[in-house]
Structure 1
Amino acid sequence: MIANTPSITVIGFGEAGASLCIGWKRAGVRSFDIKQTQPQTQAAMLAAMHKLGVESAADAASAVSDADLIFSTVTADQAFDAASSVAPGLKPGAFFFDLNSCAPTTKQKSAAVIEAAGGRYVDIAVMATITPHYHQTPMLICGDHCDAAMTALQTLEMTPRLVPGPVGRASTIKMLRSVLVKGIEALTAECFLAAARAGVADEVAHSLDASQTDMGWKDQARYNAERMTTHGIRRAAEMREVAKTLNDLGIAAEMTRGTINRQQELGALGLSLLDLDSFDARIAAIETALEKSPD
């Protein structure tokens, strides 16, 4: 039974976890992030939590010990480990909301661990960038506990859409959508890095705009460049889960492997492009970083 004022824990305090807390505007939320344990990132992570009034837990198990609602918002490659780390500390009947961008088989493995520990696992797929709408970002939800989960989420003013079916169905939709969304990002980066290097970026953009007038491609490339340098490592991890999903369906992940490589390459540069507003400045910064890259 969930209390009228549920106790909330967020595992992983990156963009998604912090955005949920910003949207909720609730006191008493607790969080744990693996970066708290790393000397080079500990101070910044604790400061980020403190700024939003979020209590930092010493470890994953203590973070969830009294929690009614647990939101997992780690990177895709850490999702199963996160579920495994909190399972021993779950109180009976606690909800474990897995918002991570993972293959359905990964989510099913996580569900087995959580359910065996007495928790209630819920597959949630986040279907848009989370920062504009925070906790009210469009989401899909599926699994055995959806009716009760929807009631609990509505107390937080969250309104995910129910997808009938077992754990993994919501994440399948997200994974297959990402083939196109993240793939277009990678293609745009490849196209315009080459176009800028050849000195024909404007001509390429004008040609593309003429054939698809609802999108300014040069501005899209400018936007995508920042998204990939900021989130490329995380997105590459997500796309490895996408490749796993495709392989499980018997579809060769040929295009997705290219997306993984391009997202990883730009994310590994460690650039922040937020202070560079123009296309030319962002592409130049990437070019400079690529020249210095050991690869």
Structure 2
Amino acid sequence: MLTTPDLQTPLGLIGVGQLGTSLARGLRAQGVQTVLAYNLPADAQAQARAEAAGLRWLATPAGLGEADIVFSAVTPQGAVDAARACAPALAPDAIYLDLNSMGPREKRAVADAVQAAGRRFVDGAVLGAAADGIRMPIIVSGPDAGLVAQRLGALGMRVRAVGTEPGQAASIKIVRSVLAKGLEVLYVEALVAARRLGVETEVLGTFCDWLDARPAAASAELLVTTHLLHAERRMHELDMSIAAVRETGVNPVITQAIRDRLAATAATAVAAQLQGVPPHQISDALALLDDALGATVQDRRVPPA
């Protein structure tokens, strides 16, 4: 196990945008001697950005062969092309770490391109703001995920291995985005309607009081376990919410979707089976929902690529 950081072995970077340069600046500040930078596609300003960040600019991907880990931080649309163009240039034992924000199917396509070149691939997902540099949390998966987490953790990065298969880290991020972006648009829809009713301060304040009353994990468990028993009652309450939001002139898109998801659960036999007693754990509730909703709505696991 590493006890001191390896500051001498170069690291590589493909993509000199905000994510790449922020990460590289942080590594350089930690004492990493050399970060090799290559940009794809061509960008007239990339070299200037790389040199301003203290990176060694590469005109071609050939120089990436000096690095033991190469980060790909291009764009989701360019990730496969970057892998095809750059993976063959890596040293035989080097690891190609893809940090682009993609779903598991797309991430496995990048893995295929890297592995076709005979190189090692690790799937990475950034869970924080790019501006945070090495402080942003990153999860990784793949056969070499543990090695990557150890190597980069010694350099001060917040990297955690979450699985041994490419696509697992991507799956976590992309489904987590449903919660993060879902909460974002819930706030927008509800609070614009509340503002038009002149009650936005109380709506937000009382909701935040409810959120602050218990740890976030406990709130999630409470909502999901009681959802099985109370979906029908909550559905009827949402009927009134839809009417109230619509009367303000806000289209209740999210409110309607919530009502429909509640209705899907209410249409199952789960509440009757539980006989008024909610599951003890969120995992038990999710298992019941997985089975019940699969029979009533078009919820299906994503097939393998």
Normalised TM-score (structure 1): 0.61
How far apart, in 1, do the equivalents of 2:299 and 2:114 lie?
25
- Give the match for residue 183 of structure 1: 182
CA-to-partner distance for each residue in 1:243-274, whole Å, 9 max, x for gaps?
Answer: xxx998359xxxxxxxxxxxxxxxxxxxxxxx
State the superposition RMSD in angstroms. Answer: 3.0
Please give the secondary structure, in 1, of the residue aligned with 2:122. strand
User: Could you list the runs of 5+ residues in structure 2 that have no partner in the other structure?
Assistant: 1-5, 212-297
- Give the match for residue 23 of structure 1: 26
- Give the match for residue 49 of structure 2: 48
Distance 1:193 1:105, change over 3 A: same
* 8 Å Cα contact 2:122-2:166 kept in structure 1: yes
- Give the match for residue 82 of structure 2: 82
AA of the residue aligned to 1:127: L
- Give the match for residue 200 of structure 2: 204
AA of the residue aligned to 2:15: G
- Within a 5 Å distance, the mapping from 1:164-243 to structure 2 comes to 164-189=163-188, 203-213=199-209
* 8 Å Cα contact 2:145-2:164 kept in structure 1: no
- Give the match for residue 119 of structure 1: 119
How far apart, in 2, do the equivalents of 1:21 and 1:206 lie?
44
Distance 1:168 1:83, change over 3 A: same
How far apart, in 2, do the equivalents of 1:158 and 1:10 lie?
15
Q: Which has the larger radius of gyration?
A: 2
How far apart, in 2, do the equivalents of 1:247 and 1:165 lie?
26
- Give the match for residue 249 of structure 1: 301
Q: Give the CA deviation at 1:56.
A: 2.1
How far apart, in 2, do the equivalents of 1:18 and 1:185 lie?
27
* 8 Å Cα contact 2:12-2:67 kept in structure 1: yes
Please give the secondary structure, in 2, of the residue aligned with 1:34. coil
Distance 1:188 1:18, change over 3 A: farther
- Aligned length, in residue pairs: 210
Q: Give the CA deviation at 1:187.
A: 4.5
Distance 1:111 1:248, change over 3 A: farther
* 8 Å Cα contact 1:108-1:167 kept in structure 2: yes
Q: Give the CA deviation at 1:147.
A: 3.4
- Give the match for residue 101 of structure 1: 101
